[in-house]
Amino acid sequence: MKPIEIIAQIIGVVAMAFNIISYQWKKKETVIILQLVGAILFSVNFLMLGATVGGILNAIAAIRAAVFYLGDKVKADRIFWFVGFIASYIFVYILNFTVFGKEPTAFHLIIELLPVIGMLALNIGYRLKESAQIRKCGLISSPAWLIYNIAAGSWGAIICESLTLISIFVGMIRHDNNK
């Protein structure tokens, strides 16, 4: 393994840690800021490994997290942001088959749509008011990314999403049940 790949994998492990622990916090702002850091690190990780689409989607995820973290200061609840992020995910999806040269087979068209669905689910979650609602949206996002990562054969990402799903369930048990 080349030194840049080793560094990229280390950055990916740190990014994974931020994303996984994010679901253990009760406060919405803390969940979002931890996911923002994780998205930045995953963007760097994917770009270092040459995975352009993963890098771009994670860069957009970092911007999205920053917008929703800033909330009222940038009027994050405005439909402009919601539509803008959705449009950016779709644009990246289209670029994948045009500029980036991914073959548009039925399999690729479906599999490559999954991370877009995952991004959309968390985009919806960030518009909601409570961390419990973010965790519920994570139950859509993580499986979508997990299936995509299995199809892509990315073991690090498979482990991350598997642990994220476990973390979401633990967070739900800890914070969302009144027992």
pTM metric for this prediction: 0.80
The three state secondary structure string of 84-148 is HHHHHHHHHHHHHHCCCCCCCCHHHHHHCCHHHHHHHHHHHHHHCCCHHHHHHHHHHHHHHHHHH
Name the residue range of residue 121's domain: 3-176
Report whether pLDDT(179) > 60.
no
64-105 pLDDT, tens digit per residue, is: 889 989 988 998 788 999 899 999 999 999 998 999 888 999
DSSP, res 156: H
Number of separate domains in the chain: 1
Cα 62 to chain centroid, rounded: 9
Q: Please report the pLDDT score of residue 86 as a whole number.
A: 92
**Cβ distance 46 to 83 under 8 Å?**
no
Q: Give the dihedral of Cα atoms 102, 7, 158, 91; nearest 10 deg.
A: -30
Band of pLDDT at residue 26, cut at 50, 70 and 90: confident
Give CA torsion, residues 132, 27, 140, 59, to 10 deg.
Answer: 170
| pLDDT for the residue 131 | 81
Could you tell me the CA-to-CA distances from 65 to 68, 69, 173 in Å, in that order? 5, 6, 24
**Residue 143: is its pLDDT beyond 80?**
yes
